[in-house]
Every structure is written in structure tokens, then in C-alpha cells.
Amino acid sequence: MTGAGAKTDCLMEKLQGIAVSPGVAIGEAVVMDSEGFRIPRRFVARDAVEDELERLQKAIAAVSKDVARKRDAVSKELGGKYGAIFETHLQILQDSGLRSDLEEMIRQRHYSPEYAVSRAFNRYAQVFQRLRSRTHAERANDLVDIEKRLLRNLLGRRREEISHLTLPVLVLAHNLTPSEAANLDRNYVRGFVTEVGGPGSHTAIVAEALAIPAVVGTGPFLTEVSGGDLVIIDGDNGLVILHPDEETVARYHHEADQLRTLAARLQTLRDLPAVTADGVRIDLFGNIEFPYEVDRCLERGADGVGLYRTEFLYLGAEIEPDEDVHYQAYSRVLTTMGKRPVTIRTFDMGADKVPLFPPPEDERNPCLGLRSIRLALRNVPMFRTQLRAILRASTLGNLQIMFPLISTLLELRQAKMVLADVIEDLEEHGVEFDRNVPVGMMVEVPSAVIMIDQFVEEVDFLSIGTNDLIQYTLAVDRSNKDVVGLYNSSDPAVLKLIAMTIQAAKRKKIPVHLCGQMSGNSTYTMLLIGMGLRQFSMTPSAIPEIKKICRSVAVKDCESVARRALCLDNARDIKSYLRDELKKRVPELIQ
């Protein structure tokens, strides 16, 4: 191993990932460990060097003792073959090359022992990973394991949580769950990158809600950066640039300025309605995950809230939220939105949105398992608590209730029965609520579209959830980077299902809106208007751009675009046709 960590100058490196939240962020990296702590770039004072070296020696000695104990115990119980794994760890800890690298970093460069350990081990692991053999990959894993043990020992109780930041940073992590992403400090986190994750994951959706640039699914790269390194996140093109050179930094600063100018121009449309050039009114609603986002909806000129993902109330909580917690959240949203409509979706947990309680089941196919409305119908007391709070809040504004992931008529009827039961209960106890609250369902499973003419007889409105509809129609995991090329809003099969849903709602004269990410993607605005959609619900930051398109186009032109697009037989041709049409009509939006 000796000498592997000698290289100190880092060359610029570009990583291609999946663009999930637009914008450009330039700044210092914080590398988030899989255990959720971060290694800050710290230096030690010249006169503290000897003490810090001693601290490092003590940490190595303590970890070595621990590893030797494990080796002996494992050898005794399972045999020497297994104990040998820990023997390898001990050899690494005693390696003279590693030790002198660490000493040099602390003595010459005045790095803190934590930072020196994280840097040295990163470099070594990188060398092994590049060799691309199984044995070397295992050795890289051994290194990561030892690094963690050393850091745990060095940081002790001083482990710095990612939630306690004091300076602006870009977060780099292997993975972030939706609730971890939601808990990032909005004052300091300017963007994030994850090695895994897909375009429709809820972590991606949270990034948009936070309005910070984000890239997911880059593949492994964390061994190539250290906390404090300069990084650029290009959230429009899914690029991450490590150790950028001066010219690249200057180019991205210029791009960020241009984006700010465009955003300021679009913001002037805030108080104008989204009316097409031939006078057709389009409603643009906001999607929210947290009550505070209503302020952002109003700032961006939303006509209401088209989707409130209430499951986020459960995700970060240690215990199940009670009725009052629900009520407080809903009343904040309703009172802020005034007369504007607010669609509250009952909790949609499961798949990638797993609460801390009850302990998650080990499901083999979480997307096809006990998620969403299925979970609600298995936990009726929990479902009733939420429904009571929603109904009580209905007196405060213009509220609608929506059930997620309905796949059969019986499921819808069961959910409505629980609701009817809660209504009866409130009436019995003289609790005030609005008796005319509209009840709708999400259309996000192909079976719901196949049966859509029956469904429209039993609901007051529909909402098309394309994030899941794409996943279930094309059998493509929305959170898996390896199938990102197959996860297409523009697939003709998906478009046909959307068209069928819009037409069924029209025939029955009930409202239909689309609340998947597709709604805030400018590529699809003309197509969806042309297909007859008049209500869009999207991440609030996308509203100004979509409004600009609505005000720039005529419905009859959109209809001819839709007719043409629906005649094409594959996602790639449809998407490029739509991009060309948008470029012709609203050129300033295409970079």
C-alpha cells in the first residue's frame, strides 16, 4: 500500500448523473457518511501538532485492540478462515506507508487527524477500486470499514450531524432518503448529489421542493472527494464537476447569473393569470410536502395547492402524529391559501417513503406491496385519525380530499366507507366540518385507467399521478438509476393512458388535473394543453416557466401538436418533436 496516497493535486473530473432539480450550485463539498455524519475540513495549530499526532496514535491503538478482540472471538466461534478478515484489517492499521502518510498530512499540512484519515483512506480506496478486480473491490470495502472505525473513535461524541451546518455547502452522499433530504438545512445546503437514486424518487421530488440543484444516480464517486473540495452541481444537465478548473468555474458563474436573470423575468408574471393566447384559462397549482411551502406557492403565483403529500408528516417523526399534529399542519395550509383550492392527499407511505414507525416490513417488492391506500386500509385507526383532522380543517378554506394509488373500485369504495364512518362520527359529536368536501382519487395505476369510466361515476375529481403511472405502465422502477433511459413521460403508452383519463373526466364533466413531475416539465405543456388538460399541479418553482408557456401559445396550436405527437410511435421521437415545437414558440426558455 505504501505510496498509494502520495498524489495530492486533483484533476477536474466530470460525472454524469440524472438531473432532478434544476439550477447551478458552486461551493465546498460536505461528504455525508453512510451513518449520517460528516468530516469537516479542519486544520490544527502548529503548536497542537504533537498532541494531535498522539490523539491519532491512541485512536489507531484503540481500534487495533478492538479489531484483534473481534478476530479472536470470530476465529473461536467460526474458525480461522473468518477471523482472517479481521487480521487483514489489523495489517492495514499497522501499515507503515499509511501511518507515514497520515503523519505527513498532520505534521506538514496541519490537517486534523479526522480530515487526514478521511483523505488518506479515500485515496487508498480509490486506487483499489480502479484496479477493478473482485479482490481489490473487497480490499476497498475493508478500507472503508476501518476508516469508519477510526473516525468513530476520533470524533467520539463530537460527530457532526449534517443538520448542524454553519456555512453554505453542497452535500455529497451515497444515498439520501426522502426524509433525510427533507431535513437538510435549507439555510446552508445549496445542492446535493447522490450516487444512487432515480428520476422519480421522492428524494428527487424533495430537492425540487427545496428549490436546490440536485443530481442523483451518478454511480460511485465519493472516494474521489473530500470535505472542503470545490464542486459544481449542474442540475439542468445532471452533471457534477469535481475539482473544477478556473475557466469552468467562471463559465458556471456566468450561467448561474443568466438563470437568475431569467427567473427574475418570469417572476414578473406572478400576478397575471395563466391564460393562453386565445383566451383559455389554465389553473396552475403547487405540489407541497410541508406546510411552509404554501408561502412558496403564493410567491410563485399558484392558483391553489393541487397536491399536499401529507405522508411527510409521518416520515421524520419518531411516533405516529396525532390528530392535533395533522390539524395544525392542514390549518396552516388552508388559512394561508385563503379561498384558493387545496387538495389534501391522504398518506401515501411505503415504497421509498418509509416512516420510522412501525418498523418497516422487509418487503421484497415495496412498490407492489403494502403501500399507500393499501396501508391505510390495513391501519384503519391511523387512517381515521388523519381523516378526522382533514374534515375538521375543512371549515378553514376550500379543501378537497384525495386518495392515492387506487387500483380497484372496491379499494375506492372501502376508502370512501371509512370516510363516511368518520363523517358520521363527527356529526354524532357535533364537530363542525364542511359536508360538501369533494372527494377524488389519483390515477396512477393502469388498472384505474382501464376502468376509468366506472371510476368517474364515483368520484368528484381525478388527479393523474404520472410519476407512478409511468413506473407501473412501463414496469420501470422510478428510483433506479440503471433503468433511467426507460422511464419516459413521453412514451406513447403513457400518453394514451393520460388521454383516456382526460377524456373520461370530460365526458363526465368532472375536473381532472395532472400532478406528477411531468406537469412542471416545459417539454410537455403544449402537449397536455392540446390533450385537453386545464389544471396542472407542480413543484412551485416550476410555475413561472409553465405560466410563460401557457401565455405564449394558443390552444388550437397545442391541439395540432398533440395530434401529431400522438401519431408518433416512440418516446424519443415524441420528446424531440415536442422540444422542437417549444423552441419555435417560446425560444427564450430553451438553453
Residues 301-330 that bind ligand PEP (CB under 6 A): 307, 309
Residue owning grid cell 476465529: 75
Comparing CB distances to Mg ion, the nearer of 59 and 209 is 209
Question: CB-wise, 226 or 287, nearer to ligand PEP?
Answer: 287
CB of residue 572 vs Mg ion: minimum separation in angstroms?
Answer: 25
Q: Residue 309 CB, nearest distance to ligand PEP (Å)?
A: 5
Active site residues: 202, 515
User: Does the protein bind ligand PEP through residue 516 (CB under 6 A)?
Assistant: yes
**DSSP line for 524-586:** GHHHHHHTT--EEEE-GGGHHHHHHHHHH--HHHHHHHHHHHHH--SHHHHHHHHHHHHHHH-
Q: Are 437 and 426 in contact, with CB atoms under 8 Å apart?
A: no
Least Cβ distance, residue 472 to Mg ion (angstroms): 9
Give the contacts of 193 (CB within 8 A, at least 6 positions apart): 17, 170, 171, 172, 173, 214, 215, 216, 218, 231, 233, 240
CB of 206 to ligand PEP, least distance (A): 11
Rounded to the nearest 10°, the torsion over CA 269, 271, 302, 23 is 30
- Residue 466 touches which member of ligand PEP, Mg ion, none, C-beta under 5-8 Å by kind: ligand PEP
Binding-site partner at residue 199 among ligand PEP, Mg ion, none, CB < 5 to 8 Å by type: none
- 286 binds ligand PEP per the rule CB under 6 A: no
55 or 309: whose CB is closer to ligand PEP?
309
Q: Which residues bind Mg ion (CB under 5 A)?
A: 444, 465, 468
The Cα–Cα gap between 59 and 155 comes to 10
Q: Could you tell me the three cell numbers for 387?
A: 381523516
Query: Which x/- pattern over 128-147 shows residues binding ligand PEP (rule: CB under 6 A)?
Result: --------------------
For residue 90, give the 3-state DSSP assignment. Answer: helix
515 lies in the binding site for ligand PEP (CB under 6 A): yes
C-alpha span between 382 and 350 (Å, rounded): 15
The one of Mg ion, ligand PEP, none whose footprint includes residue 22, by CB under 5 to 8 A per kind, is none
The conformational region for residue 217 under phi > 0 = left, psi -120 to 50 = alpha, else beta, is left
Say how many Å lie between the first and final Cα of the chain, rounded: 47
Q: Which stretch binds ligand PEP (CB under 6 A): 65-73, 126-134, 253-261, 465-473?
A: 465-473
Choose, by CB under 6 A, the member of 468, 477, 491, 557 that binds ligand PEP.
Answer: 468
Residue from the set 179, 226, 385, 467 that interacts with ligand PEP by CB under 6 A: 467
Which option in ligand PEP, Mg ion, none does residue 516 bind, with CB closer than 5 to 8 A by kind?
ligand PEP
* Residue 253: CB atoms within 10 Å: 13
Residue 146 · residue 93 · CB < 8 Å: yes
Q: Which is nearer to ligand PEP, 293 or 348 (CB)?
A: 348
In angstroms, the CA 488 to CA 443 distance is 17
What does the H/E/C string look like for 248-296? Answer: HHHHHHHHHHHHHHHHHHHHCCCCCCCECCCCCECEEEEEECCCCHHHH
CB of 487 to ligand PEP, least distance (A): 12
- Report in angstroms how near the CB of residue 440 gets to Mg ion at its nearest: 14
| Amino acid at residue number 339 | K
Q: Which of the ranges 183-191, 210-218, 256-264, 460-468 carries the binding residues for ligand PEP, by CB under 6 A?
A: 460-468
Give the shortest CB-165-to-Mg ion separation in angstroms: 31
What nine digits make up the cell of 302? Answer: 399558484
Handedness of CA 557, 559, 561, 564 (dihedral sign): negative
- Where does 139-196 show beta strands of DSSP type E? 160-161, 169-173, 189-194
Does residue 495 touch ligand PEP according to CB under 6 A? no
Our CB check for ligand PEP shows the closer of 195 and 348 to be 348
Provide the minimum distance between the beta carbon of 357 and ligand PEP in the complex, in angstroms, as a whole number: 20
- Phi and psi, residue 515, nearest 5°: -120, 10
Q: Which member of 304, 397, 465, 544 binds ligand PEP (CB under 6 A)?
A: 465
Nearer to ligand PEP, 234 or 348 (CB): 348
| Choices 59-67, 117-125, 156-164, 462-470; region in contact with ligand PEP by CB under 6 A | 462-470
Among 348, 477, 491, 557, binds ligand PEP (CB under 6 A): 348
The least CB distance from residue 468 to ligand PEP, in Å, is 3
**Cα–Cα distances in angstroms (integers) from residue 332 to residues 289, 325, 390, 431, 434, in the given order:** 13, 11, 12, 19, 17
Q: Are the CB atoms for 491 and 497 separated by under 8 Å?
A: no
The x, y and z cell numbers of residue 52, run together, are: 494531535
**Which residues in the 87-116 window bind ligand PEP by CB under 6 A?**
none
Report d(CA 11, CA 341) in Å as an integer: 52
Residue ranges in 423-452 that form contacts with ligand PEP under rule CB under 6 A: 444
Of 465 and 530, CB closest to Mg ion: 465
Closer CB to ligand PEP, 398 or 463, in the complex? 463
How many residues touch ligand PEP (CB under 6 A)?
A: 11
Closer CB to Mg ion, residue 147 or residue 468?
468
Q: Is 198 in the site for ligand PEP (CB under 6 A)?
A: no
What residues line the site for ligand PEP (CB under 6 A)?
A: 205, 307, 309, 348, 444, 465-468, 515-516
